């Protein structure tokens, strides 16, 4: 069984270097609806039998570019939501907002929409479902941060593959069992 994990193509969306918590929230919402750059594609020699994709448009656009069959849309493949760890009108660096948001998620802070435990549960249930299908070649199109947790669960299930520390947009990471 082969499972291909793909992070959506690069999103065409810029940001300010410094922003308030409100501007960071607005940036996240705009990023979630921004188009992707489709001028590149990962080399792909595998004939995928099934494709699962996040319901975010950037993932669907990527899946449609790589896979030519029916795409199964799965909301459990959405990116782990991020929001400011606290409210302030002080402008902080964009990168700091991202780090603080992920740290707040890691510690299940009330500022986040989803806890680390909830993320783990949804990923574990999805991976178990995919494995139970017993298909040979499955393509999963999702988001960078969530890919780390999908990968972790695949490795726990005995899959071997290239670990993606920081997943590249449009690259297919293959896991086999």
Average pLDDT over residues 121-133: 94
Residue 70 has a pLDDT of: 95
pLDDT in tens, 146-166: 999 999 999 999 999 988 888
How far does Cα 164 stand from its chain's mean position? 12
Asked whether 98 and 82 are in contact (CB, 8 A), the reply is yes
The predicted model gives 85-107 an average pLDDT of: 96
Report phi then psi at 115, rounded to 5. -90, 165
Of 142, 147, 90, 80, the closest CA to residue 115 belongs to 80
Answer whether 0.95 is exceeded by the pTM. no
Q: What is the CATH number of domain 2-176?
A: 3.40.50.1240
Task: Please say if the pLDDT value at position 41 is more than 80.
Answer: no
Burial class of 51 by CB neighbour count within 10 A (0 to 12, 13 to 18, 19+):
buried
Task: Sketch the domain layout of the chain as residue ranges.
Answer: 2-176
Model confidence at 39, pLDDT cuts 50, 70, 90, reads low
Q: How far apart are CA 102 and CA 129, in angstroms?
A: 27
């Amino acid at each position: 069984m082969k499972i291909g994990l793909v992070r959506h193509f690069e999103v065409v969306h810029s940001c300010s270097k410094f922003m308030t918590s409100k501007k960071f929230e607005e940036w996240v919402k705009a990023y979630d609806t921004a188009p992707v750059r489709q001028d590149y594609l990962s080399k792909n020699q595998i004939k995928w039998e099934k494709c699962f994709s996040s319901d975010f448009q950037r993932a669907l656009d990527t899946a449609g570019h790589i896979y030519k069959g029916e795409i199964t849309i799965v909301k459990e493949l959405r990116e782990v939501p991020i929001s400011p760890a606290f409210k302030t009108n002080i402008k902080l660096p964009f990168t700091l907002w991202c780090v603080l948001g992920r740290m707040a998620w890691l510690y299940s802070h009330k500022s986040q929409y989803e806890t680390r435990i909830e993320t783990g549960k949804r990923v574990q249930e999805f991976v178990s479902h995919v494995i139970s299908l017993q298909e040979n070649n499955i393509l999963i199109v999702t988001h960078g941060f969530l890919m780390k947790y999908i990968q972790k669960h695949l490795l726990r299930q005995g899959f071997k593959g290239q670990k993606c520390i920081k997943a590249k947009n449009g690259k297919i990471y293959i896991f086999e069992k």
